[in-house]
Amino acid sequence: MINVIGLGYIGLPTALMFAKSGVEVVGTDISEELVQSLSQEKLSFEEEGLEKLFEEAISNGIKFSTEYQYTNTYIIAVPTPYVKESKKLDPKYVISAVNSVLDVCEKGSVIIIESTISPGTMDRYIRPEIEKRGRVIGGDIHLVHAPERIIPGNMVYELEYNSRTIGADDIQVGEKVKSLYKNFCEAEVVITDIRSAEMSKVIENTYRDVNIAFANELAKICRQDNMNVYEIIRIANMHPRVNILQPGPGVGGHCISVDPWFLVGDYPDLTKIILNARKINDSMPTHVLSRIRDIMREHGIKDISKVGLYGLTYKENVDDTRESPTLQLLERMDEHLAFGVKVFDPMVKDKIVDHQFMDFEDFLNEIEILVVMVGHDHIKSNMELVKDKLVLDTKNIFNYEIVYKL
Ligand code: SAJ
């Protein structure tokens, strides 16, 4: 039996996938409310394909509990919050989960950490925690880092078809964990050491951040001389060895906008590109604001409350608003005393900011300028409704000729 600890965005789909593939699974979370609702067969978030996977896991007998289980394989997928001020990762939840495992586990247990951790976290925080309790790593406890790689919006598919990294300092343990993931993972599973697994995870996200920053810089260059950045990137990407990502209103979420800071924090003298990429991506909400001001000026609109921001989530078709460019933009607008801007997001069911509308048509009735911050499917299928608005399309989903772009 395996015990999956932390039933959030990563832990839950992972636990369900193991259960679907026939592994006996107990999912553990400290939230009684969450455990209770999962036990009553209610899912805690929306994700493509998750409902069907949940049904299959339930029929294979998955259990949910607030208790850690007595077994020999643990997968930890708890949050690793990022401390904005210090730009460092806070490992408190992983440390606490490891300690709770140590309270109950069998001798020879494998503790697999899936949560994203900054390079060196295992050596700096996890190993000492285990040794402090008189346990011998490599003897009665084995440590593995198997960083998750799945993308919100396509998690269920990617769990099965993305390759995986298993970081283990003992090759036999690595092989054992590899065969565990092979229960559902169809792609290649690579075994490496823990330090390399930590580092490769963080540089994957950093690579994407740097690539997006390049696209955003190109967008600014093209704006200055009124060129179509999307067309230019499309053509450049036809070259077989060029693959530039898309410009946008900023980089949000809990991963890509956060992980590069771990490298900047640990290697301040060596991370010039990475730091500048972060700065460029963080500057994008301000760029959007200046584009809004351009449009207001051009059309003689003086009242900022005539501006509506569409999309509060960090990207399309998810309900997660962490580090979202829209929230960053609102913060900056506040600084500019530009209070009163309207907001709408069909994916966000709770009111989390001022002047947030719950009905799309009510929202449209109040505004003259629509700023598309997120390319949800919802806006793509309602383009007709916004025909009479001035549209600033930061996600390039409308025809270039009829709207304003970044
Ligand atoms: N974005 C752009 N332009 C692009 C692509 C994305 O501006 O061309 C923006 C998005 O709008 C969003 C942000 O970047 O604000 C991040 O979105 P994303 O879809 O690129 O990535 P995440 O944060 O949802 O998930 C990433 C993934 N990492 C990589 O693709 C290297 C995922 O595989 C990881 O599992 C996840 O981080 C994680 O948990 O680390």
Q: Are 105 and 72 in contact (CB under 8 A)?
A: yes
Residue to mutate, 154, 251, 262, ligand 1, most ligand atoms under 8 Å from C-beta? 251
> Which ligand 1 atom minimizes the distance to the CA of 153?
24
ipTM (interface pTM): 0.97
Residues 27 and 153 in one domain: yes
CA separation for the pair 158, 143 (Å, rounded): 24
**What is the percent of the chain where pLDDT is above 90?**
90
The tokens for 252 are 């949000």
Please tell me the residue having the least CA distance from ligand 1 atom 31: 205
Residues 247 and 140 in one domain: no
DSSP annotation of 68: P
- Ligand 1 centre to CA of 47 (Å) is 16
| Domain around 394 | 204-405
Beta bridge partners of 392: 371, 404
Residues having CB within 6 Å of any atom of ligand 1: 116, 148-152, 204-205, 208, 212, 245-246, 248, 251-253, 255-256, 314-315
Residues 42 and 79 in one domain: yes
Residues 182 and 256 in one domain: no
From 145, 169, 192, give the residue that closes a domain.
192
Residue 198 lies in a domain: no
> Active-site residues: which are they?
201, 255
Residue 401 has pLDDT above 80, yes or no: no
- Ligand 1 centre to CA of 81 (Å) is 17
Residues 249 and 389 in one domain: yes
- Ligand 1 centre to CA of 152 (Å) is 8
Residue 371 has pLDDT above 70, yes or no: yes
Residues 148 and 243 in one domain: no
CA separation for the pair 247, 216 (Å, rounded): 5
Residue with the larger pLDDT of the pair 152 and 185? 185
Q: Are 20 and 57 in contact (CB under 8 A)?
A: yes
- Ligand 1 centre to CA of 256 (Å) is 6
Q: Taking Cα atoms as reference points, which of 320, 373, 309 lies closest to residue 350? A: 320
Residue 223 has pLDDT above 80, yes or no: yes
Please tell me the residue having the least CA distance from ligand 1 atom 3: 246
- pLDDT-derived band at 345, boundaries 50, 70, 90: very high
Rg of the chain over CA atoms, in angstroms? 23
DSSP annotation of 235: H
Q: Are 284 and 216 in contact (CB under 8 A)?
A: yes
Residues 396 and 259 in one domain: yes
Q: Tens of pLDDT along 86-102?
A: 888 999 999 999 999 99
Residues 70 and 154 in one domain: yes
- pLDDT-derived band at 336, boundaries 50, 70, 90: low
pTM score of the predicted model? 0.93
> Which ligand 1 atom minimizes the distance to the CA of 158?
33
The residues, any chain, with a CB within 8 Å of residue 318's CB and separated by 6 or more, are: 152, 153, 347
Residue 397 lies in a domain: yes
Residue to mutate, 10, 149, 151, ligand 1, most ligand atoms under 8 Å from C-beta? 151
- pLDDT-derived band at 335, boundaries 50, 70, 90: low
Residue 59's pLDDT is 97
Calculate the CA 299 to chain-centre distance.
Answer: 37
Please tell me the residue having the least CA distance from ligand 1 atom 37: 255
What mean pLDDT comes out for the span 71-90? Answer: 91
Residue 87's pLDDT is 80
Burial 87-108 (b: 16+ CB within 10 A, else e): eebebebbbebbebbbeebeee
Q: Taking Cα atoms as reference points, which of 299, 313, 319 lies closest to residue 373? A: 313
- Ligand 1 centre to CA of 150 (Å) is 10
What mean pLDDT comes out for the span 240-265? Answer: 95
Residues 44 and 118 in one domain: yes
Q: Please, what is the Cα angle at 261 between 343 and 273, to 5 degrees?
A: 100
> Which ligand 1 atom minimizes the distance to the CA of 201?
40
Residues 126 and 235 in one domain: no
Residues 174 and 235 in one domain: no
What mean pLDDT comes out for the span 169-177? Answer: 96
Q: Please, what is the Cα angle at 326 between 231 and 279, to 5 degrees?
A: 70
From 192, 220, 239, give the residue that closes a domain.
192
Q: What is the 3-state secondary structure (H, E, C) of 90-151?
A: CCHHHHHHHHHHHHHCCCCEEEEECCCCCCCHHHHHHHHHHHHCCCCECCCEEEEECCCCCC
Residue 387 has pLDDT above 80, yes or no: yes
Residue 337's pLDDT is 55
Residues 188 and 63 in one domain: yes
Please tell me the residue having the least CA distance from ligand 1 atom 7: 248
Residue 137 has pLDDT above 90, yes or no: yes
What's the total number of domains in the chain? 2
CATH number at residue 301: 3.40.50.720
Could you list the beta-strand ranges (E) of 170-239.
Answer: 189-192
The tokens for 102 are 């140590």
- Ligand 1 centre to CA of 232 (Å) is 22
- pLDDT-derived band at 197, boundaries 50, 70, 90: very high
